[in-house]
Structure 1
Amino acid sequence: MIRTPLRPLARILSARDKGENPDAIEAENRAARHAEIQTNARRRARTRLGVMAGCFVIAFGTVGVRMGSLAASQPSEPRTQASGARIISQRADITDRRGRVLATNLTTHSLYAQPPLMVDPARAARELGKVFPDLDVARLTKDFTGTRKFVWIRKVMSPEQMQAVHDIGDPGLLFGPREMRLYPNGKLASHILGGAGFGAEGVSSAEVVGVAGVEKAFDAWLRDPGNEGSPLQLSLDLTVQQAMEEVLGNGMKVMRAKGAAAILMDVHTGEIIAMASLPDFDPNNRPAPLLKGDASDSPLFNRAVQGQYELGSTFKIFPVAQALDLKLLNPNTMVSTKTPMKIGKYLIRDFHNYGAALSVTDIIVKSSNVGTVRIAQMLGPERQQDFLRKLGFFEATPVEMVEAPTGKPLVPSRWPAVTSATVAFGHGLAASPLHLASAYATLANGGRQVRPTLIAGRDRAEGPRVLSEGAARTALGLLRQVVVRGTARQAEVEGYAIAGKTGTADKPRPGGGYYGNKVVSTFASVFPVDRPKYALVLSLDEPTSAAGGGESRVAGTTAVPVAAELVRRVAPLLGLQPEVKAPLPTVERAPDDGLKLVSN
């Protein structure tokens, strides 16, 4: 900036020449300079005031907006933030469909020692051995008297044990608070829940993680703090589950079976109301896995989901239902049952000689292998496979358990004529009881595919149609006749019309072939048949019934009576009102010209 001099030489010389006072020029210039300085100062002051006013407006506006947002939001507890890694120990509860607790958390304590702080290490080791008899006192004494600075003693303990340790009075014995998983119902629904254990551990907390069942399948969800403690609600009904396990356990003892499994499923939603596998275990004290031998010998083995069994004659309704759907026959169509039937070098026989021909209805009622194979031959291997695939027999069930993928059906890699024949009556393809329950639910709900689930109340899209409604209804009528006058007559429960099919399958030997005296007997059913609501599958592993003074292994005398007792117990719990006289569904009658003999 160029400043104007107060006494410019040119003006001073001019003023002197004119006789004027040069000091007046200086005074004039000084006044002008002061005026300019004041003008600039006022301008700067106004700018600063404007900036400060803007800052105040922004600051108070931000505070006002924040106060408004806080006023409109839901109140929440303040949360502190801590630096460093943190062990998340909180885990959501698991409840049944009515909100009753199946799994929850219990505050307990761990026990550890710091030997440098101990007064009498040897005595502390001896006293701990009295409190915890499973401890190795000699090893504990060595750890306490050696060079170790830290020793884990117990991950969890009861309040009584904690008090006993406290009474020892050694300052080197220290407690750490933590949570453990508690299953208040003990063994009830143990295979479904699975169990939990400890992950990351510290002296003051431990991470609880799922190790099996839904605990592991939903481990991330159960540990997610974002759920804010909301429980995982299963589709199980605790009361029905208790009744199922009690009846199944008693039936297993009476029938002298090696194991047992049962599934009760809503045929419309696929929700599993109860599912049991015996023998079972207590998830509060989960046993170690079986490292050798037959996996099914372990109580951890879930027969309902992981078991891969040839399910015998319960499969016979599938080719019949498919043929009804394709209008290849009707319930009164006569089919050749001349036995034995030869396919290649193999002979297929019926348990009894039923004569030259039976109606389709009687093929199901009398459980004719030959008649079922004749119907399967009408379908052909490709259509047979396609139908079974739609029913879910070619893939693992989508049920929400980590064990589900291990129960993928054992499907033949090749499908020659003899395989098509044996699969038609339930041999050559091994699947779980849960697969069978889903397939029977599909028949019961009018022919739409059912996908089993353990989660209650979820919105689910209606499954694709597998079978026409008319064919599904007719198939149920055939299954009802099995209970009325066929191999499942002992399944008749007063007040509740049941439709179902028995199946007795020889157990395969590990090295090939089949055992001569070991079977898996199964009863697959639907009730009430006039308004189908539930599918029930019950299976016994190696049963032997002493009914009638002799030994019997067939499903009609082993699995069926147990299933009948189960329906008798759970139907009232499910809110089903008994009928004074249960109506029988009418089997479709074909005109006389519709009767025909089907033969090769």
Structure 2
Amino acid sequence: MKGRFDAEELRPPPSPHAAPAGRPLPSGGAPAQSASRALVRVSGPDLARRSQLETTRGRLLIAAGGFAMLFGAVGLKLAVATVIDPMQPKLRAAAKVPGEPNIGRAPITDRNGEVLAVSLQVTELYANPQEINDPAEAADKLRRVLPALDRERLIARISQRTVGDSDRPVQFAYIARNLPPRQQQAINDLGIPGFHFRASERRFYPQGRAAAHVLGSVDIDGRGIAGVEKSFDERLRADHSPLRLSVDVRVQVALRESVEKAIADFNGIGGAGVVLDINTAEVLGMVSLPDYDASDPGGLQQRADAESPIRTVAARAPMPVAPRQDQDPHFNRATVGLYEPGSTFKLLTAAMALDYGTANIWSSFDASKPIRYGRFTISDYKGKHRSLVLPEVLAYSSNLGAAHMAMGVGPTRHREFMARMGMLNRLGLEVPETTRPLAPSANGWRDINTMTIAFGHGISVSPLHVVTGISAVANGGILRQPTILAQPDGVTRDGTRVLAEKTSETMRKLMRLVVTDGSGKGADVAGYFVGGKTGTAEKSTARGGYQKDKRIAAFVGAFPMNQPRYAIYVMVDEPKPNAQSHGYATAGWVAAPAAGAVIRRVAPILGMVPETDRIPQIQQTISIPLQPGRPAGAAPKAPVVAATPPAAGRANAAAGNAPQANGPAGRPLGVPLQQTPAAPAVPQPPALRRTEWPAGFRFAALPAPSDEAGLAPR
């Protein structure tokens, strides 16, 4: 058994192609042929798995082909767009919503680029009454967000109606402007049909009141209605680049604060100030007080109503009374206000006499007694009651000396000189608020006009006229029209020569003398060598008289007088005396210290360093004595007598005293009047008859036009 078992175990296994045990192979078949036709048994799960694999393989091939085509197309497009045929950028205009306003009025800046005016985008609320079924309910809901709206007026605006007598329905009605985002969202949340929003713009003035009268303002539709906004309205709409002004906002603020302080200290009703580049006539600062903030027109109206001293008290006068012009914050005193300049005009009188050669610095003028002209009397305020040489006339602000000085030139040439200095014409400043001075006509300019205008009475000009004329006196004799636009650096503006350079040099010394030894001491600032002239003029009434208790106090000057760069004008309207001024309210106490405060602040801003270490040397070059000696070889000149001509000279005086005719005393022009020895037995010649003034111009009695002569506080 054991051997058998081993033999079976050692037997090789059957062939896989062999027939099962116990089953014979088919007959007639060879073993090899039978083996090739043998059946293989495959289970069902294997067949299903093989089918899924084949399907997945096909899908992957299709997906891979699709992605290959996609990336190929993208790559080809990029190659065409960036390498083969690159596309150039095209500029297209931004789409506009129908009815949307054009946002983009150009900004206005000062000379240093500080923004003075800019347009900001805001939201407006309007209604379509045709879409509102219940106006009362809609109005009540809207007033929850905008309680300031009047209910009855709001209902009337959003009620359905037609345009005038036509059948066309109203489809647009403004409700509110300048809505902040929070209110806009609150109105949206109400869900009231018929209310819509649209974009608009609002003009904003970041500097507030600093340059209100220069900039002006715009109306509710964004169109300029005053100031630079009006003058350059088309330019600001068409060209969106900033409009650069000559104003320096730092100078503007300093000027405004100094003038405002002077008004407050002396309880004035207003004032004005101007800082001018003396060589280019660029306006660096121009202030008129009271002023306003154009960004807050609603508040402006409320303040104007509250501050107006005029009220309707009678039941029979229900119409509201407008405030006085000089208390209207919109009134620009610097360019529109016309005032008698007072003694500031004595600088022009002296310049005229020196330039025509009718006087020199050692010429003397009789200021010992008043000048009578008919029923009028001209006298000095705190006069010296003696003959004064020309420097003393300015330092002591003598009305009598100025009148005699002007009569040496004569009425005809006096008026020609005033016209040449721009005192009879409107200035060419680029703002619409300018005016023409009030002065006698050519036919009405008589002796009395020449005498009074010589010391700043009988003519009314604006502060800008005064500072422009004095700039020409100090800058070498070139008169340039003032400008509010910034000028290119290094470019010389065109001007007209109105004085000889020698005359201007002498006038600079005289202007400095007034500040060091005369009525303008309060304007002096160490190291800046200020020169100028004070002027106090009584205000005229509507009927032609003067008001003793109301005056204009002004100072006009330039600095530094060794090489003038800037001119300044400061004026206070109706100042009142205070304890510090010892009961005076003249320009020496009011305007001169205010001008000094302005110079002290703005000079460092403008890059000027005070010459404190060279004061004696510089002062020596620009000084002139109060009583200059007569140079060797010069003919002695006697004091000028009163301007009342004798009877023989009346015809010439009435004829206007032409330059080629004889002067007031029958002498050739340019020769000083000679003193007539007093003779008791000879009666004084009768006074000239009163000259009739031109229509519309009135002349007040001049008992003693008050000035600040001799009142020069340090």
- TM-score, normalised to structure 1, is 0.81
CA RMSD of aligned residues (A): 2.4
Question: Counterpart in 2 of 1:113?
Answer: 127
From the superposition, tell whether residues 385 and 535 of structure 1 become closer, same or farther in structure 2 (CA, over 3 Å).
Answer: same
Question: Counterpart in 1 of 2:539?
Answer: 507
Matched residue SS, 1:512: coil
1:328-377 Cα distance to aligned partner (Å, 9 max, x none)? 22222222112211234422101123133011000000000000111101
1:254 and 1:545 in contact (8 A); partners too: no
Matched residue SS, 2:326: helix
Matched residue SS, 1:284: coil
**Counterpart AA for 1:154:** A
Matched residue SS, 1:598: coil
Question: Counterpart in 2 of 1:10?
Answer: none
Question: Counterpart in 2 of 1:554?
Answer: 586
1:485, distance to aligned residue in structure 2 (A): 1.1
1:489, distance to aligned residue in structure 2 (A): 1.1
- Of 106, 112, 116, 1:92 maps to 106
Query: Are residue 151 (structure 1) and residue 151 (structure 2) matched?
Result: no
From the superposition, tell whether residues 499 and 393 of structure 1 become closer, same or farther in structure 2 (CA, over 3 Å).
Answer: same
Once residues 193 and 76 of structure 1 are traced to their aligned partners in structure 2, the CA distance between those partners, rounded to angstroms, is 39
1:404-430 Cα distance to aligned partner (Å, 9 max, x none)? 1xx210011311111110000000100
1:556, distance to aligned residue in structure 2 (A): 0.4
Question: Counterpart in 1 of 2:631?
Answer: 591
1:573, distance to aligned residue in structure 2 (A): 0.5
Query: Are residue 572 (structure 1) and residue 594 (structure 2) matched?
Result: no
1:452-510 Cα distance to aligned partner (Å, 9 max, x none)? 00000155643111000111111111111111011111111122110010000000111
From the superposition, tell whether residues 424 and 130 of structure 1 become closer, same or farther in structure 2 (CA, over 3 Å).
Answer: farther
Matched residue SS, 1:330: coil
- Of 440, 444, 448, 1:412 maps to 440
**Counterpart AA for 2:631:** P
Query: Which runs of structure 2 are paired with 1:62-211 in the superposition (5 Å)?
Result: 77-79=91-93, 88-118=102-132, 121-147=135-161, 149-199=171-221, 208-211=222-225
Query: Are residue 218 (structure 1) and residue 218 (structure 2) matched?
Result: no
Aligned residues: 514
Once residues 327 and 557 of structure 1 are traced to their aligned partners in structure 2, the CA distance between those partners, rounded to angstroms, is 34
1:141, distance to aligned residue in structure 2 (A): 2.8
- Of 224, 234, 239, 2:250 maps to 239
Once residues 189 and 230 of structure 1 are traced to their aligned partners in structure 2, the CA distance between those partners, rounded to angstroms, is 20
Question: Counterpart in 2 of 1:467?
Answer: 499
1:422 and 1:428 in contact (8 A); partners too: yes
**Counterpart AA for 2:206:** P
Percent same amino acid at aligned positions? 37
1:108 and 1:178 in contact (8 A); partners too: yes
1:343 and 1:417 in contact (8 A); partners too: no
Greater shift, 331-340 or 294-303, is seen at 331-340
From the superposition, tell whether residues 548 and 231 of structure 1 become closer, same or farther in structure 2 (CA, over 3 Å).
Answer: closer
Question: Counterpart in 2 of 1:255?
Answer: 266
From the superposition, tell whether residues 77 and 474 of structure 1 become closer, same or farther in structure 2 (CA, over 3 Å).
Answer: farther
Query: Are residue 282 (structure 1) and residue 296 (structure 2) matched?
Result: no
1:320 and 1:372 in contact (8 A); partners too: yes
Once residues 400 and 460 of structure 1 are traced to their aligned partners in structure 2, the CA distance between those partners, rounded to angstroms, is 19
From the superposition, tell whether residues 462 and 139 of structure 1 become closer, same or farther in structure 2 (CA, over 3 Å).
Answer: closer
Any unmatched runs of 5+ in structure 2? 1-87, 162-169, 306-320, 642-714
Matched residue SS, 2:532: strand
2:383 and 2:398 in contact (8 A); partners too: no
From the superposition, tell whether residues 502 and 137 of structure 1 become closer, same or farther in structure 2 (CA, over 3 Å).
Answer: same
From the superposition, tell whether residues 384 and 133 of structure 1 become closer, same or farther in structure 2 (CA, over 3 Å).
Answer: farther
Question: Counterpart in 2 of 1:520?
Answer: 552
Once residues 78 and 235 of structure 1 are traced to their aligned partners in structure 2, the CA distance between those partners, rounded to angstroms, is 36
1:80, distance to aligned residue in structure 2 (A): 6.9
Question: Counterpart in 2 of 1:450?
Answer: 480
- Of 369, 374, 395, 1:339 maps to 369
1:176-231 Cα distance to aligned partner (Å, 9 max, x none)? 011221111111200010001244xxxxxxxx21010010011111111xx3x211
- Of 367, 373, 385, 2:403 maps to 373
1:38-57 Cα distance to aligned partner (Å, 9 max, x none)? xxxxxxxxxxxxxxxxxxxx
1:146, distance to aligned residue in structure 2 (A): 4.6
Greater shift, 119-128 or 151-160, is seen at 119-128
- Of 509, 519, 523, 1:491 maps to 523
From the superposition, tell whether residues 402 and 133 of structure 1 become closer, same or farther in structure 2 (CA, over 3 Å).
Answer: farther
Question: Counterpart in 2 of 1:272?
Answer: 283
From the superposition, tell whether residues 134 and 561 of structure 1 become closer, same or farther in structure 2 (CA, over 3 Å).
Answer: same
Query: Are residue 422 (structure 1) and residue 444 (structure 2) matched?
Result: no
Greater shift, 121-130 or 438-447, is seen at 121-130
1:120 and 1:170 in contact (8 A); partners too: no
Matched residue SS, 1:110: strand
From the superposition, tell whether residues 470 and 346 of structure 1 become closer, same or farther in structure 2 (CA, over 3 Å).
Answer: same
Matched residue SS, 1:263: strand
From the superposition, tell whether residues 577 and 274 of structure 1 become closer, same or farther in structure 2 (CA, over 3 Å).
Answer: same
Once residues 487 and 411 of structure 2 are traced to their aligned partners in structure 1, the CA distance between those partners, rounded to angstroms, is 38
1:498 and 1:525 in contact (8 A); partners too: yes
1:218-248 Cα distance to aligned partner (Å, 9 max, x none)? 1111111xx3x21111000011111111222
From the superposition, tell whether residues 122 and 476 of structure 1 become closer, same or farther in structure 2 (CA, over 3 Å).
Answer: same
**Counterpart AA for 1:409:** P
Once residues 547 and 471 of structure 1 are traced to their aligned partners in structure 2, the CA distance between those partners, rounded to angstroms, is 41
1:346 and 1:418 in contact (8 A); partners too: no
1:116, distance to aligned residue in structure 2 (A): 4.3
Query: Are residue 230 (structure 1) and residue 252 (structure 2) matched?
Result: no
1:83, distance to aligned residue in structure 2 (A): 13
Once residues 419 and 129 of structure 2 are traced to their aligned partners in structure 1, the CA distance between those partners, rounded to angstroms, is 64
Once residues 93 and 260 of structure 2 are traced to their aligned partners in structure 1, the CA distance between those partners, rounded to angstroms, is 49
From the superposition, tell whether residues 549 and 577 of structure 1 become closer, same or farther in structure 2 (CA, over 3 Å).
Answer: closer
Once residues 104 and 82 of structure 1 are traced to their aligned partners in structure 2, the CA distance between those partners, rounded to angstroms, is 22
- Of 349, 352, 357, 2:382 maps to 352
Any unmatched runs of 5+ in structure 1? 1-70, 200-207
1:151, distance to aligned residue in structure 2 (A): 2.7
Greater shift, 139-148 or 317-326, is seen at 139-148
Structure (1/2) with the larger strand percentage: 1
1:235 and 1:273 in contact (8 A); partners too: yes
Matched residue SS, 1:283: coil
Once residues 460 and 126 of structure 1 are traced to their aligned partners in structure 2, the CA distance between those partners, rounded to angstroms, is 65
Structure (1/2) with the larger helix percentage: 1
Question: Counterpart in 2 of 1:5?
Answer: none
Once residues 563 and 535 of structure 1 are traced to their aligned partners in structure 2, the CA distance between those partners, rounded to angstroms, is 10
Once residues 508 and 327 of structure 1 are traced to their aligned partners in structure 2, the CA distance between those partners, rounded to angstroms, is 34
Question: Counterpart in 2 of 1:15?
Answer: none
1:233 and 1:456 in contact (8 A); partners too: yes
1:125 and 1:141 in contact (8 A); partners too: yes
**Counterpart AA for 2:208:** G
Once residues 475 and 611 of structure 2 are traced to their aligned partners in structure 1, the CA distance between those partners, rounded to angstroms, is 21
Once residues 554 and 133 of structure 2 are traced to their aligned partners in structure 1, the CA distance between those partners, rounded to angstroms, is 65
Larger Cα-atom Rg? 2
Greater shift, 586-595 or 241-250, is seen at 586-595
Matched residue SS, 1:431: coil
Once residues 230 and 367 of structure 1 are traced to their aligned partners in structure 2, the CA distance between those partners, rounded to angstroms, is 50
